[in-house]
Amino acid sequence: MEFLQPPTWREALEARAAHPDALPIWGGTDVMVELNFARKRPPALLDLTRVSELSRWDVEDGGVRIGAGVSYTRVIDELGDRLPGLAMASRTVGSPQIRNRGTIGGNLGSSSPAGDALPPLFATGAFVDVASARGERRVPVEEFVVGPKRNALADDELIAGVWLPLRAGSAQQFAKVGTRNAMVIAVCSFALDVSDGRVGTCIGSAGPTPIRAREAEAFAEGLDSWSEDAGREFGDLVAMAASPIDDVRGTAAYRRHALSVLARRTLKWALCG
Amino acid sequence: MRLTCTINGEPREVDGLWEGESLLYVLRERLALPGSKNACEQGECGSCSVYLDGVLVCSCLVAAGQAEGREVVTVEGLAPSEDELHPVQTAFVEAGAVQCGFCTPGLIVATHDLLARVPNPTDAEIREALAGNLCRCTGYEKILDAVRLAAAS
């Protein structure tokens, strides 16, 4: 195995082009588990922790651009005011040790249907910045995640960061079901982003990818105010949009029911403050 | 592969590493620092907790090469001398928070980190800070007592 540790982004992209089989690593919270359990033996590790610009976030183009190497802890501490949905989701990731190392870029790279940071990115309509020595492109996050643990990255591309729009008066919520309050992979989760005239949603961990509940969004966009009936209808529409399976963490039927509850609750929180 | 870094304040150099091994493996198997425990190897149990450049991490999830040029502090580096315990360690002993002892080093480092950030934590803050450290003996009550005692001392 080779250990590649480029000091700059340009050299990282060149290393990626020269080693398309290299496994990128930042926080290691997914990658090192694969190595420790001998599930993966990539020909090279591409350590991106020395590329300083990956650890930056900036307010730009009416949104926030977060470098791929920004940890969950930093999202919580530094972006909780601007991106409350993503910060809430980040707070449910693992433990302090995991949040200190795990990154938004890594969650995108893993593209797990249970990735906690993904539903807020989908709900808010985020874009993923990917780059190679050939150039850069900005991909809607819904087109980036293409299947369970599969994404649209080409062999020579790396995730540079993610851009999330900032909308005036946006009320964001995130809720997750698990067996305890920490160190838990989501049984299911739900993200909601309500702003003037727009409702974004996303179901996590109940389908091959995170899923936006389009009909529920259209229904909620037509609401004038909160009512219990509207909340139930919204919950039902979200549950119908899910595509869950039975697995060790829960049954499909449980996930659908739990999602209807999470959707109803988060809509109430978002509309009633 | 060669790794050069600072461990518990001392410059260290290790040769012949496998590129995919963890910082935990380097500490335990190559540097004779077995305080950080090896249990789950997947970041679930916290028994390998160390500081990497002042940040609390699971050393099993840090690739050895990622520590190049960095400062690592392990549980062995917290006490002021060979003959003295750190106040957090003393509190764990006095509160009876140690049974089999396997989780203790990780809990000591995690508590040390918590109290450095939040000198007088609430119970909720203690629970959240220690959520990544598993203990199968104590039921955690005496561990919470130890953290409260350490905060008061």
Q: How confident is the model at residue A164 (pLDDT cuts 50, 70, 90)?
A: very high
Q: Is residue B49 part of a domain?
A: yes
pLDDT classification of A51: cutoffs 50, 70, 90: very high
Q: With contact defined as beta carbons under 8 Å apart, do A145 and A118 qualify?
A: yes
The pLDDT mean for chain B works out to 97
> Do both B71 and B114 map to the same domain?
no
Q: Is the pLDDT of residue B18 over 90?
A: yes
Which of B48, B49, B66 is the best mutation test for A, with the most CBs of A within 10 A? B66
The chain-wide mean pLDDT, for chain A, equals 97
Q: What is the pLDDT of residues B110-153, one digit of tens each?
A: 999 999 999 999 999 999 999 999 999 999 999 999 999 999 98
B47 domain-assigned: yes
Statement: residue A185 has pLDDT above 90: yes
Among B31, B52, B77, residue at a domain's last position? B77
ipTM for this prediction:
0.97
For residue B108, give its domain range. 87-152
| C-beta of residue A153 within 8 angstroms of C-beta of residue A130 | yes
pLDDT of B20 higher than 90: yes
For residues A109 and A52, give the distance between their C-alpha atoms in angstroms, rounded to a whole number: 19
Cβ proximity of A78 and A57 under 8 Å: yes
A179 lies within 8 A of chain B by CB: no
Mean pLDDT of B43-63: 98
* B82 located within any domain: no
- Residues B134 and B110 both lie in one domain: yes
Cβ of A101 within 8 Å of Cβ of B57? The answer is yes
Q: How far is CA A273 from CA A172, A236, B43, in A?
A: 10, 22, 36
CA distances from A202 to A163, A207, A243, B51 (A): 17, 11, 12, 36
pLDDT > 90? residue A273 = no
- Looking at the fold, whether B70 and B43 belong to one and the same domain comes out as yes
CATH label of the domain that carries residue B52: 3.10.20.30
Which positions in chain A touch B113 (Cβ < 8 Å)? 96
Q: Residue count of chain A, please give it.
A: 273
Q: Measured between beta carbons, which residues in chain A are less than 8 angstroms from residue B60?
A: 32, 36
Q: Cβ contact (<8 Å) for B46 and A2?
A: no
Determine the residue of chain A that is closest to B58 in CA distance. Answer: A97
- Residue B34 inside a domain? The answer is yes
Report DSSP state, residue B28.
Answer: I
The partner residues of A63 in beta bridges, in order of sequence, read A60, A165
Domains and CATH numbers, chain A: 2-48+57-165 (3.30.465.10), 171-272 (3.30.390.50)
Residues B8 and B71 in one domain: yes
DSSP A48: -
The candidate with the shortest Cα–Cα distance to A24, out of B57, B5, B50, B66, is B66
In tens, the pLDDT along A83-112 reads 999 999 999 999 999 999 999 999 999 999
CATH of the domain at B121: 1.10.150.120
Quote the pLDDT of residue A57: 98
Least CB–CB distance from A2: residue in B19, B57, B68: B19
Among A25, A36, A95, select the one facing B60 at the smallest CB separation.
Answer: A36
CA distance B62 to B42: 11
Cβ count near A28 (within 10 Å): 28
End-to-end alpha carbon distance in chain A: 53
Q: Chain B residue closest to A71 (CA)?
A: B55
Share of chain A above pLDDT 70, in %: 100
Location of structure tokens 């006490």: B79
User: How sure is the predictor about B42, in pLDDT bands with cuts at 50, 70 and 90?
Assistant: very high
Contacts of A113 (CB under 8 A, 6+ apart): A148, A204, A205, A206, A207, A208, A209, A210
Q: Which of A2, A6, A26, A3 is nearest to A14 (CA)?
A: A6
The whole-angstrom separation of Cα A262 and Cα A128 is 27
The structure's pTM equals: 0.97
Q: Which pLDDT tens digit goes with each residue over A122-162?
A: 999 999 999 999 999 999 999 999 999 999 999 999 999 99
Last residue of a domain, one of B57, B77, B97: B77
How far is residue A263's CA from residue A269's CA, in Å, rounded to a whole number? 10
Distance CA(A244)–CA(A162), nearest Å, equals 27
Please give the distance of CA A208 from its chain centroid, rounded to a whole number.
14
**Residue from A2, A19, A32, A54 to probe the interface with B (highest B Cβ count within 10 Å):** A32
Last residue of a domain, one of B12, B47, B77: B77
- CA–CA distance, A71 with A92 (Å, rounded to integer): 13
How far does the CA of residue A94 sit from the closest CA of chain B (Å)?
7
CB-based contacts of B143, cutoff 8 Å, min separation 6: B92, B95, B97, B107, B130, B135
Q: B20 to chain A: which residues are within 8 Å by CB?
A: 1, 35, 41, 45
Q: Mutate one of B60, B61, B109, B134 to test the A interface: name it (highest A CB count within 10 A).
A: B61
CA atoms within 13 A on the CB side of B134: 14
pLDDT of B16: 97
Inter-chain Cβ pairs, chain A and chain B, closer than 8 A: 91
For A42, nearest residue in chain B (alpha carbons) = B20
Residue A152: C-alpha distances to residues A121, A129, A137, A260, B140 (Å)? 16, 11, 11, 30, 44
Q: Are residues B8 and B48 in the same domain?
A: yes
Q: How many domains does chain B have?
A: 2
| Contact by Cβ (8 Å): B14, B26 | yes
User: Which of A59, A76, A63, A74 has the alpha carbon at shortest distance from A27?
Assistant: A74
